[in-house]
Amino acid sequence: MASGSKEGKEQIRLGFMTAVEIGDRSFVGGLLVTDRFGRPLEFQCTTPVKPNRTQELLYGPTLVPFILGDLLGKALLDRVSVKPLLVMTSRIEMLQLRTKVDVPIIYDEASSETDSKTTQSEQSVAKEQTVPIGRQTFRTHEDFTDDRSTVEQISQQLSNDANMHEPLERVGDALRETMSTVTARPRVA
């Protein structure tokens, strides 16, 4: 059959993951898995997580990356039934999740949810760590150099004009909407 390339394109599953802060240092994460056209295949979100004071003291500046990557991000990828081939995130803190999963995690450098306290070293990224997808430039994890070629292969099956930032905004909006309609009590990390 001549449908081999058609099936390959239809099987592209993209993950869009982010987290938002709600209330007083509580975080909730969400993962949207779409087809190559940006149509939703599955959406998952976590319950809110709020660190206690002892955790804030002990984890220090590593607390938010631990919550967003190790707790929320890992839980989302474990829970989702439609597994993405690639996960894009608007939170730099979630990039470290790549060390715990087999799927490439890439960071949207133009994300509006980026912490304004990004350090100078985080801003100067090696050319080998950046990869364009559609109209955006993403950053791969520095320890996974093969991810760049994987991402490039996937991006060849997407439109050159694709807006990969927009689905990330949808996830953030969905999380804020969900949290505004649900009176969820944050669980302690």
pLDDT digits (tens, 9 = 90+) for 36-95: 999 999 999 999 999 999 999 999 999 999 999 999 999 999 999 999 999 999 999 999
pLDDT digits (tens, 9 = 90+) for 148-158: 999 999 999 99
For the chain, the domains span: 4-114+121-183
What gap in Å lies between CA 58 and CA 47, rounded to an integer? 23
pLDDT digits (tens, 9 = 90+) for 160-180: 888 999 999 999 999 999 888
pLDDT digits (tens, 9 = 90+) for 124-148: 567 778 999 988 999 999 999 899 9
Q: What is the CATH number of domain 4-114+121-183?
A: 3.30.2170.10
Environment class of 153 (CB within 10 Å of its CB; exposed 0-12, middle 13-18, buried 19+): exposed
The verdict on pTM exceeding 0.75 is: yes
